């Protein structure tokens, strides 16, 4: 498969999973956490899917297209390992949806970050929270949620926290 075809499949999987997750949280109160802004495509999509939800973005160094930048009060810049611990009180409410696009070119570093991140997200998640990620995350009480039919196993990951 060409890199172009692989990128297209990844983006289609991302969109399908986000669309399903957004539908699943309609009765779950809470904010949305975007873990990794990149160029802002998924942030922009989440704004359209969930226009009445506050979306808080975590990004090492925000350099997205200006139309896809969150307002300053909803952007937390820095390494996840520095910004996520202790952030629950500052957010003021738990998340109904979390989306993580945390993969990097370094497979070992990505796996270590995913292993660390899962437990750190636990206090940020509301009961019934949907977690959509490019990496497998583990949270206590998180049940693997079925992927949309067109998404290949392992391409994306979905968890739902028990209510």
Condensed to tens digits (0 to 9), the pLDDT of residues 107-158 reads 999 999 999 999 999 999 999 999 999 999 989 889 999 999 889 999 999 9
Report the percent of the chain where pLDDT is more than 90: 85
Query: Which range of residues forms the domain containing residue 123?
Result: 3-161
Q: What residues contact residue 76 under an 8 Å CB cut-off, 6+ apart?
A: 56, 57, 58, 59, 83, 87
pTM over 0.75: yes
Number of domains comprising the chain:
1
pLDDT band at 105 (very low <50, low <70, confident <90, very high): confident
Token representation of residue 127: 């009961």
Residue 163 pLDDT > 80: no
pLDDT band at 56 (very low <50, low <70, confident <90, very high): very high
Residue linked to tokens 């200006």: 66
CATH number of the domain bearing residue 33? 3.40.50.150
pLDDT of residue 104: 84
Nearest-Å Rg of the Cα atoms of the chain is 15
Condensed to tens digits (0 to 9), the pLDDT of residues 11-32 reads 999 999 999 999 999 999 999 9
Residue linked to tokens 């289609």: 12
């Amino acid at each position: 498969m060409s890199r172009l075809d692989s990128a297209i499949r990844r983006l289609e999987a991302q969109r399908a999973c986000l669309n399903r997750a957004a539908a699943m949280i309609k009765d779950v109160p809470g904010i949305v956490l975007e873990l990794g802004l990149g160029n802002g495509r998924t942030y922009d999509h989440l704004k359209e899917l969930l226009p009445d939800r506050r979306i808080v973005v975590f990004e090492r160094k925000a350099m997205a297209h200006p139309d896809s930048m969150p307002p300053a009060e909803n952007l937390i810049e820095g390494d996840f390992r520095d910004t996520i611990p202790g952030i629950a009180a500052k957010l003021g409410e738990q998340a109904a949806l979390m989306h993580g696009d945390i993969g990097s070119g370094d497979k070992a570093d990505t796996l270590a970050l995913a292993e660390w991140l899962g437990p750190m997200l636990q206090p940020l998640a509301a009961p019934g929270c949907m977690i959509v990620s490019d990496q497998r995350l583990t949270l206590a009480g998180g049940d693997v949620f079925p992927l949309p039919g067109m998404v290949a196993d392992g391409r994306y990951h979905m968890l739902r926290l028990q209510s």
